[in-house]
Amino acid sequence: MINLLIFGPPGSGKGTQSEKLINKYGFIHISTGDIFRKAFRTKTKLGIEARGYIEKGELVPDHVVIGMMSEELEKHTTSKGFIFDGFPRTTIQAEALDRILDKNNNEITLMISLEVEEKELITRLVKRAEISGRCDDQNISVIKNRLDVYKKTTQALIDYYKEANKYIAVEGTGSIDEIYSRIDKIVNKLF
């Protein structure tokens, strides 16, 4: 079973590239951001709790995210493999994910980290704000806070997976298809 982490700062193309990977390889796509946005729309307790953090560009607390992920993974016990997109975002989440996967004799195969300059990330998110209706894309100060949270908290996970020999960086600028082709070459070799 292949379990990938698609990693990178907000706007690096995690969601975009995950979609292309699931189409080719049939992975189950687990995007914490998508789960939260669905929970907003259906106004569940989780959605109401998460929204307050997301609209400020802060991380949802670890215990909320980890509880939600454990439930999500239990729904897919027969999966061929997962793509984790936007999870983990803290070391506590990474350790919890290792424990959850280990219970089923499983592990993360590889973290694919998309590298994109900050100026380009801001341009992409401001552009997406025009069409997405996402509360966290609408305001430049919230976008900048998300990038700061990434640098202060989430980026440290690169070292976590480097130490486990599970890290690979991919140049995340260029056309969507060019980036996908870089990623696909890496994923193909895992089978």
Residue linked to tokens 């089923």: 104
Instruction: Output 154-159 pairs: Cβ under 8 A, ≥24 positions apart.
Output: 154/9, 154/59, 154/89, 154/90, 155/9, 156/91, 157/7, 157/88, 157/89, 157/90, 157/91, 157/94, 157/111, 158/7, 158/111, 158/113
Q: Which is nearer to ligand B4P, 110 or 129 (CB)?
A: 129
Segment contacting ligand B4P (CB under 6 A): 21-29, 39-47, 84-92, 103-111? 84-92
Residue from 2, 16, 47, 158 binding ligand B4P (CB under 6 A): 16
Residue from 4, 5, 14, 30 binding ligand B4P (CB under 6 A): 14
Closest to 92 (Cα-Cα) out of 58, 60, 114: 60
In angstroms, give the least distance from the CB of 183 to ligand B4P.
11
Query: Can residue 87 be called a binding residue for ligand B4P (CB under 6 A)?
Result: yes
Query: Can residue 47 be called a binding residue for ligand B4P (CB under 6 A)?
Result: no
Q: Give the binding site for ligand B4P (CB under 6 A).
A: 10-16, 32-33, 36, 53-54, 57-60, 65, 86-89, 93, 124, 128, 136, 146, 175-176, 179
